[in-house]
């Protein structure tokens, strides 16, 4: 395993070992799947799209349909314009999507492909749409790609008609379909009319009916994304995944926005509900007030199991920001917080939270799991929270792992279960507490084994 990872950290400027991220086009593909009847298209080699699909398949355990320009040596030298135009013609003729969302790759970005011109020259049937986002893999991460594709939706589709639709736009960020369903349930509970995009619920958590459909029933309708330019305001959940799209919508259609932390835990969910109430004029429902009280009760009931425990966190920046805030609310001690996505804003936000809580931690953006492992070797923690790739560190250092974020490829059902909102807070407390208690049971001597912990 990783038993030979050295404790001593040596500064590395040009070498990443065990990345804590993946590449932009994967995030763009996931965002595109959140549009109803959309076929994502990767403008690059066939192997790139196979990698993105494979990663998403393993996390969601659902089929992911996508197309590719299938670059060969010839396209790399002479350009892939003919590949893309032929691909679009075939896609609309054979698969009949309502929209194709093109994301670029390292190769097409490096040779400087002019995607907007190719789209104008392509044979796009009347009433159909083609959008694109520039997503070079050598910059940013899958979160950056998700953000760029969502911004592309606004650029190509959103339009202001001059009359308000009375709705709130909600940009959920890179979260699971179960989280998107929970966000919509919260909005419905407050009787707030909304447009949420992208929305992968009903796409990557569609029911098994015995009939295969290339385009499931879920996803945001194109007409709703167009209508988002007439909304009262936009709630951007997650600064890295959603803020750029909200800013573009304000610039293009004059729709005001509020950027929020992904609603994980008490404070972030409270802020989300207050923002909904501010834009919609609707009060917080009794149902949600009851759920908040339940979370507080659970925190009081179980605090002795997790209070003061030291934690190492890694994953996507928006999810980590919300999770860090929640762990501080629980009285836990985030000790190491690392994301693979670059951006100084992450370190600034997290350090501000830690300072307000009167504690300190090692916080790093654009980091990798080799660095995280070295930190843990130097000074161990009680718990690791992160995706499937954390299992190797957890095994090497004999530390329990709570699986959280993307990708989780060695466990199931996670994408159906929310971690956002008060319901998500309950689930996180259950996962954290039970994982720590499982360790207590494992390590306890026979004579000290208790029935009730």
Contacts of 304 (CB under 8 A, 6+ apart): none
pLDDT category at 80 given cuts 50, 70, 90 is: confident
Q: Which residue has the higher pLDDT, 230 or 209?
A: 230
What is the model's pTM? 0.96
Q: Is residue 295 part of a domain?
A: yes
Asked whether the bond before 198 is cis by omega within 30 degrees of 0, the reply is yes
Angle in degrees, 0-180, between the axes of helices 317-330 and 344-356, rounded to the nearest 10: 10
Q: Flag whether 234 is in a domain.
A: yes
Residue 83, in any domain of the structure: yes
* Boundary residue ending a domain (258, 285, 312): 285
If asked whether residues 181 and 215 sit together in one domain, one would say yes
User: Is the same domain home to 366 and 441?
Assistant: yes
- Residues 68 and 191 occupy one common structural domain: no
Asked whether residue 294 falls in the same domain as residue 419, the answer is yes
The answer to whether residue 12 sits within a structural domain is no
Query: pLDDT tens for residues 411-435?
Result: 999 999 999 999 999 999 999 999 9
Query: What number is the average pLDDT over the span 382-399?
Result: 97
- Are 98 and 212 contained in the same domain? no
Helix 286-306 vs helix 177-189: crossing angle, to nearest 10: 130
pLDDT at 1: 52
From CA 442, how far away is CA 416, in angstroms rounded? 29
The whole domain housing 106 covers: 24-156
Residue 157 has pLDDT above 90, yes or no: yes
Q: Is residue 4 part of a domain?
A: no
Question: Do the domain assignments include residue 241?
Answer: yes
83 and 209 inside one domain: no
Count how many domains the chain has: 3
DSSP state of 283: P
- Average pLDDT on 261-270 reads 98
Q: Provide the mean pLDDT of the chain.
A: 95
Confidence of residue 14 (pLDDT cuts 50, 70, 90): confident
pLDDT of residue 410 exceeding 60: yes
pLDDT of residue 262: 98
pLDDT value at residue 446: 86
Distance CA 170, CA 246 (A): 9
Say if residue 348 is in the same domain as residue 216. Answer: no
* The Cα angle at residue 215 between residues 91 and 405, in degrees rounded to 5: 110
Higher pLDDT: 195 or 213? It is 195
Which pLDDT value is given to residue 131?
98
For 228-285, where are the alpha helices, taking DSSP H only?
A: 239-253, 265-280
Mean of the pLDDT values across residues 216-236? 97
For residue 204, give the CATH number of its domain.
Answer: 3.40.50.1980
Q: What is the mean pLDDT of residues 43-52?
A: 89
pLDDT value at residue 72: 84
Structure confidence at residue 2 (pLDDT): 67
CB atoms within 10 A of CB 178: 23
At 280, is the pLDDT very low, low, confident or very high (cuts 50, 70, 90)? very high
Same domain? For 181 and 233 the reply is yes
pLDDT in tens, 199-224: 999 999 999 999 888 999 999 999 99
The answer as to whether 199 is a domain residue is yes
Strands (E), 31-106: 38-43, 67-68, 99-104
Same-domain status, 329 and 355? yes
pLDDT of residue 74: 79
Residues of the chain with pLDDT > 90: what percent? 87
* pLDDT confidence band for 10 (50 / 70 / 90): confident
Tell me the mean pLDDT in the region 180-201: 98
On whether both 279 and 215 belong to a single domain, the answer is: yes
Q: What is the pLDDT of residue 239?
A: 96
Low-confidence winner among 65-74, 144-153, 192-201, 317-326 (lowest mean pLDDT): 65-74
142 Cβ contact list (under 8 Å, min separation 6): 21, 22, 23, 24, 26, 27, 30, 174, 316, 406
How do residues 123-154 score in pLDDT, each as one tens digit? 999 999 999 999 999 999 999 999 999 999 99
Pair 188, 151 in one domain: no
Give the mean model confidence (pLDDT) for residues 386-392.
97
pLDDT of residue 300: 95
In a domain, 33, yes or no: yes
Show which of 131, 156, 181 is a domain's final residue: 156
- Would you state the torsion angle of the CA atoms of residues 143, 402, 196, 151, taken in this order, to the nearest 10 degrees? 0
Statement to judge: residues 299 and 438 lie in one domain: yes
Structure confidence at residue 78 (pLDDT): 79
Which of 156, 177, 201 is the endpoint of a domain? 156
């Amino acid at each position: 395993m990783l038993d030979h990872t050295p404790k001593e950290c040596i500064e590395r400027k040009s070498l990443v070992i065990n990345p804590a991220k993946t590449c932009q086009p994967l995030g763009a593909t996931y965002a595109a799947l959140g549009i109803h009847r959309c076929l994502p298209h990767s403008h690059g080699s066939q192997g790139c799209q196979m990698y993105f699909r494979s990663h998403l398949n393993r996390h969601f355990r659902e089929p992911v349909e996508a197309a590719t320009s299938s670059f060969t040596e010839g396209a790399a030298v002479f350009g892939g314009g003919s590949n893309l135009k032929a691909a679009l013609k075939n896609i609309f003729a054979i698969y009949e999507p309502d929209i194709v969302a093109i994301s670029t790759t390292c190769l097409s970005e490096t040779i400087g492909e002019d995607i907007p011109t190719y789209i104008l020259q392509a044979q796009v049937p009347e009433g159909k749409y083609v959008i694109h986002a520039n997503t070079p893999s050598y910059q940013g991460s899958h979160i950056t790609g998700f953000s760029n594709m969502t911004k592309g939706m606004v650029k190509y589709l959103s339009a202001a008609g001059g009359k308000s639709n009375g709705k709130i736009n909600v940009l959920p960020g890179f979260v699971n379909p179960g989280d998107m369903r929970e966000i919509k349930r919260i909005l419905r509970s407050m009787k707030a009319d909304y447009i949420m995009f992208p929305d992968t619920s009903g796409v990557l958590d569609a029911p098994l009916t015995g009939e295969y459909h290339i385009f499931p029933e879920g996803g945001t309708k194109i007409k709703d994304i167009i209508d988002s330019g007439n909304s009262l305001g936009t709630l951007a959940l997650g600064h890295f995944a959603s803020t750029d799209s909200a800013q573009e919508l304000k610039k293009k259609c004059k729709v005001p926005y509020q950027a929020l932390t992904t609603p994980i835990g008490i404070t972030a969910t409270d802020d989300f509900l207050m923002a909904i109430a501010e834009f919609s004029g609707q009060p917080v429902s009794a149902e949600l007030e009851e759920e908040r009280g339940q979370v507080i009760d659970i925190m009081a009931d179980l605090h002795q199991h997790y209070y003061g425990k030291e934690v190492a966190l890694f994953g996507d920046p928006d999810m980590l920001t919300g999770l860090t805030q929640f762990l501080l609310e629980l009285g836990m001690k985030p000790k190491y917080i690392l994301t693979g996505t670059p951006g100084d804003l992450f370190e600034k936000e997290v350090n501000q939270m830690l300072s307000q809580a009167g504690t300190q931690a090692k916080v790093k953006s654009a980091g990798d799991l080799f660095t995280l492992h070295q930190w843990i070797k130097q000074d161990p923690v009680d718990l690791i929270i992160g995706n499937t790739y954390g299992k190797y560190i957890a095994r090497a250092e004999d530390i329990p792992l709570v699986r959280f974020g993307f990708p989780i490829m060695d466990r199931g059902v996670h994408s159906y279960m929310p971690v956002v909102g008060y319901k998500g807070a309950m689930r996180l407390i259950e996962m954290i507490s039970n994982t720590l208690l499982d360790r207590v049971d494992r390590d306890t001597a026979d004579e000290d084994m208790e029935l009730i912990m």
